[in-house]
């Protein structure tokens, strides 16, 4: 469980530090776009009030508090699940990634009313209109890791 906590804390801190640095220190909140390595990496400001790709953003205040509650409930559920069983180190790291990312995005919703998304990657003639953040990457990687590294045949 210590591994889970360390990974969750590191992801949370990296996510929040990257958002503060890029959005506020580099001025992305005002500039709306910073070309870092076009077209492969561009910072594009997006305040996401919904879930992935802005889904369910129509009633922003209700969605905000529901999504904060869901993030906290999932984080608690995953932590309890990991605490109750024997799991591989990779499963604990995956759980830490998911929890750290979920808490990072939940804090954004508390502080700003929306999640600060800014990473935009495009390649090979495909212009990706969507932005994401470090927490989103961690949530995706953590969920995938939990699928791959947990189950009856995957306990130590």
| C-alpha span between 154 and 148 (Å, rounded) | 9
* pLDDT tens per residue across span 36-93: 998 899 999 999 886 654 555 556 677 788 889 999 999 999 999 999 999 999 999 9
Of 35, 61, 127, 136, the active-site residue reads 136
Q: Does residue 67 sit in helix, strand or coil?
A: helix
Average pLDDT rounded to a whole number, residues 138-142:
97
| C-alpha span between 114 and 99 (Å, rounded) | 18
Of 31, 117, 127, 153, the active-site residue reads 117
Is residue 153 annotated as part of the catalytic site, yes or no?
Answer: no
State the pTM of this model.
0.90
Q: Determine whether 56 is exposed, middle or buried from the number of CB atoms within 10 Å of its CB (0-12, 13-18, 19+).
A: middle
| C-alpha span between 38 and 26 (Å, rounded) | 17
Is residue 136 annotated as part of the catalytic site, yes or no?
Answer: yes
DSSP structural state of residue 121: -
């Amino acid at each position: 469980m210590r591994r889970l906590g360390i990974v969750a804390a590191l992801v949370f801190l990296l996510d929040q530090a990257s958002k503060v640095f890029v959005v506020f220190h580099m001025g992305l909140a005002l500039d709306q776009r910073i070309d870092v390595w076009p077209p492969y990496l561009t910072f594009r400001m997006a305040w996401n009030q919904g879930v992935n790709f802005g889904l369910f953003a129509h009633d922003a205040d209700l969605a905000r508090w529901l999504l904060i509650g869901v993030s906290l409930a999932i984080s608690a559920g995953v932590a309890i699940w990991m605490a109750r069983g024997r799991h591989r180190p990779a499963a604990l790291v995956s759980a830490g990634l998911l929890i750290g990312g979920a808490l990072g995005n939940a804090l954004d919703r508390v502080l700003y009313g929306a999640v600060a998304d800014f990473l935009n990657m495009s390649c090979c003639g495909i212009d990706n209109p969507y932005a994401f953040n470090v927490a989103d990457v961690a949530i995706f990687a953590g969920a995938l890791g939990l699928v791959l590294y947990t189950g009856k045949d995957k306990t130590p």
